[in-house]
Structure 1
């Protein structure tokens, strides 16, 4: 039985908690609108009770296109819709230049490399990345030849299925990843290679972990989660395995002594390390090189591979659109075996379909978060220095003010009345501003060459008895389609192309 003194202390403690809660609410009264902020967890409960694909868009309808969520004591400002995202990422690009890196991402990336670093380190690593991509032939025929080789290998894989139902996910992911291998390591891996398969498994698992319950728990209670078992431990173990994989490749490059005749990203980086060895401000070291390699793999493999999975699913679901693409490819390219990324200018409908795939099925749940480096005023709202900013890029790609049929798969979004391709300002699947995706040009070339190669060679059909493939994604950091099978039926022109 509780004594009178104990009851008094409990009542006093409860009163102090209520006062603290009310004081907290009062101190943030001038902040942006958003869900009620509760003690300890903040207002992230609003996402947890409605963890759906449209949860952020729903909140924008309730609170406006700039609203705030609290992850514990950390403010998360969400920019929703094209105008808000444009104002933040483009018009205030330098104010949102930093990456928001929570405790889990710190443990994962050690704040090195390109994607999750900030300040001087980020500036040097990103500049090197952009320069090296150009040297490796990005946008030139050299890089395209490597992508064309992977596209040919992919076509061969589909040929072996002989028109029977197959799951395209693994072949597509392997092919995209081997493009990154060629960029980073200067060589490709066999799809049977055990180390390569482990790498693919790690990337896939890490992508599904993003946005999960355990990810949220780690963000709220990092010190506690460090000591508890769970999938977060497996993600960290996978990251360490990938680091070891990268270090082994770096070791092999050093042993070949090819630094002064660089052929790939590692060669160029090791050469730059040598040149800047005496610079006290240099951040070029093996730790950053390892993380740069991981960044290339994680960003390049997951996004492009997922986009191609959506591409084939949508072609099987929309045979009329698939037929129009194939007719354009046949009319323009004929029986020629070779074509280039430049040919997209002569293929407006095919180009529009690829853009619409990226718009209608954006591969991430939201854009990667930024961090506000100054107090910023946007549309009359003050976003405080230090706030984490989430650009909801999916809301931009589905903004009803920007797209005629935002919820539909509608390639005409990118065509004018004459059938010519039209660029759209609100097409931002690669982000915008200072942190725009480093590999967007590589991704565009990959998607075009892989997609055109497959559509020239096969007609993708639903398996017998299947009326339609589901277009609802699996929720996670990236948005994969549910596992599916389709039939890659060789076309009558395939023998001229293969």
Structure 2
């Protein structure tokens, strides 16, 4: 037998190589009726495309969308990642089929590592932990902050503090991002902790630095998630996890005072709501310190980093378009008169200003690809098969630059948001905060609701 194998080794090797090549070819997306995409290499898939000089996700995915159309497959190692580049298809995949696409992928290497070290919070958890954490978060935002007149007062207070700082440095170059982060984070802090921080507070500044470092890493697209060999010589995910750990440590210190002063008859903020739920049902382990701290990090990231970034881009486009800035200023002067502070009720009168905000959110979406959606079972989309186990992203950047939706999308033009009647319209064309389906649990009843998140709503 050994002699036979040795004599026919060349033939056997050719046969094995041919079989492996055939298996590889027939396992490609095109052979499985998956959406088209760039030709992948064995083992690494399409990852080497991101290793080219000057190529990032922000340049590569819009370019692939332009080439392959409304939907394409990017093979990350041997894991299919589906990018959906059409707003109608995003609604179909994430809303109509939300029953099988709402969960987060738990198989990602980074997610597995942070689960036991810093918790999954709201954004990365699934099942009952997600439902409970989300319920408390929404209750806190609704009953303790968002939409209430007291929140307008908190926002106006932060605006006043920002203007004081700008007045002191107005004649010198100045990085506004840290200042905007402090202001927007203080608005979230009033909901989470029931109080604000002074801008000069060094612990507050350190907390925001760690938050910024954590969000600067696109942890969901790290090669270590898809290429096991990379994990032995690249520890990029460790920087991300270290930032989250440091942030969690700071939040733990802030929670200590709350636990000592907790009064179940006087619910002051998000933390009190979480403590109340924990004490009413000790079996809900996801309300233990680790995961609750991670949920607080999510609230700060979602409510402060995104808003500060949008404000920064808004100021950038105003500075680079003085004619647009002048028109905004004229409208604000006309509506507010002599120094009156703006309120949410002024929104309908500040039409051009709102259009400018919508245009900034279109050209600079805060989450260009949203969050990953794990596919629980095979389903059809645009004639293709989206297989179980794949991960879907909404290519928000490509959608917001689709010439079929926005004429001359490369141009910053607030007037594109006005209808023939002069009213701001077409807000649903842009999905800068993605869309999806959620289940809101109240008094043991599940109410299935469709949500398309829009700015200031």
| Shared fold (TM-score, shorter chain, > 0.5) | yes
Task: Tell me which residue corresponds to 2:27.
Answer: 27
Distance 1:439 1:159 in 2: 38
Q: How much has 1:396 moved relative to structure 2?
A: 1.5
Q: Comparing 375-384 with 110-119, which one deviates more in the overlay?
A: 110-119
Question: Does structure 1 residue 367 correspond to structure 2 residue 373?
Answer: no
Aligned length: 435
Q: Which residue of 2 aligns with 1:469?
A: none
For structure 2, which runs of at least 5 residues remain unmatched after alignment?
Answer: 439-448
- SS of corresponding position for 1:192: coil
Q: Does 1:140 align with 2:148?
A: yes
SS of 2:155 mapped into structure 1: helix
Q: Is the 8 A contact 1:25 1:37 kept in 2?
A: no
Secondary structure at the aligned position of 1:368 is classed as: coil
1:15-59 Cα distance to aligned partner (Å, 9 max, x none) = 746632430321341233212222211223334434363321221
Counterpart in the other structure of 1:264? 269
Residue 39 of structure 2 corresponds to 36
Q: Quote the Cα distance in structure 1 between the aligned partners of 2:176 and 2:15.
A: 59
1:303–1:162 distance in 2 versus 1, CA, 3 Å: closer
- Residue of structure 1 equivalent to 2:161: 153
Shift in alpha-carbon separation, 1:307–1:222, aligned structure 2, 3 A: farther
- Using structure 1 for the length normalisation, give the TM-score: 0.80
Report the secondary structure of 1:444's partner residue. Answer: coil
RMSD over aligned Cα atoms: 2.9
Unaligned runs of 5+ in 1: 446-498
Question: Aligned runs of 1:15-414 on 2, under 5 Å?
Answer: 16=16, 19-28=19-28, 29-30=31-32, 31-49=34-52, 50-51=55-56, 53-101=58-106, 102-110=108-116, 112-210=120-218, 216-222=222-228, 225=231, 228=233, 230-277=235-282, 280=283, 283-414=286-417
Q: Normalising by structure 2, report the TM-score.
A: 0.87
| Contact residue 352 and residue 412 of structure 1 kept, 8 A | yes
Is residue 78–residue 392 contact of structure 1 (8 Å, CA) maintained in 2? yes
Does the CA contact (< 8 Å) of 2:109 and 2:225 recur in 1?
yes
Q: What SS does the corresponding residue of 1:389 show, helix, strand or coil?
A: strand
Task: Note the C-alpha offset of 1:257.
Answer: 2.8
CA distance in structure 2 between the aligned counterparts of 1:148 and 1:440, rounded to whole angstroms: 24
Alpha carbons 2:136, 2:273 under 8 Å: kept: no
Q: CA deviation at 1:265?
A: 0.9
1:495 corresponds in structure 2 to: none
Instruction: Give the deviation of 1:385 after TM superposition.
Output: 1.6
CA contact (8 A) 1:85 1:393 kept: no
Structure 1: how far apart are the matches of 2:432 and 2:124?
Answer: 19
Task: For residues 57-81 of structure 1, give each alpha carbon's deviation from its aligned partner in whole angstroms, at most 9, with x where no partner exists.
Answer: 2212322312211111211111112
Shift of residue 304, structure 1, vs aligned partner = 1.1
CA distance in 2, matches of 1:299, 1:133: 12
Contact 1:109–1:116 (CA<8 Å) still a contact in 2? no
1:193/1:228 CA distance change after superposition, 3 Å: farther
- State the 1:90 CA deviation: 2.6
In 2, are the aligned partners of 1:185 and 1:266 still within 8 Å (CA)?
A: yes
Structure 2 SS opposite 1:409: coil
Tell which deviates more after alignment, 51-60 or 122-131: 51-60
Deviates more, 1:228-237 or 1:253-262: 228-237
Relative to structure 1, is the Cα distance of residues 175 and 11 closer, same or farther in structure 2, using a 3 angstrom cutoff?
A: farther
Q: Cα distance 1:390–1:440, how it changes in 2: closer, same or farther (>3 A)? A: closer
Aligned CA distance change for structure 1 residues 10 and 407 (closer, same or farther; 3 Å)? farther
Residues 405 and 259 of structure 1: CA distance in aligned 2, closer, same or farther (over 3 Å): farther
SS of 1:94 mapped into structure 2:
helix
* Larger CA deviation: 385-394 vs 174-183: 174-183
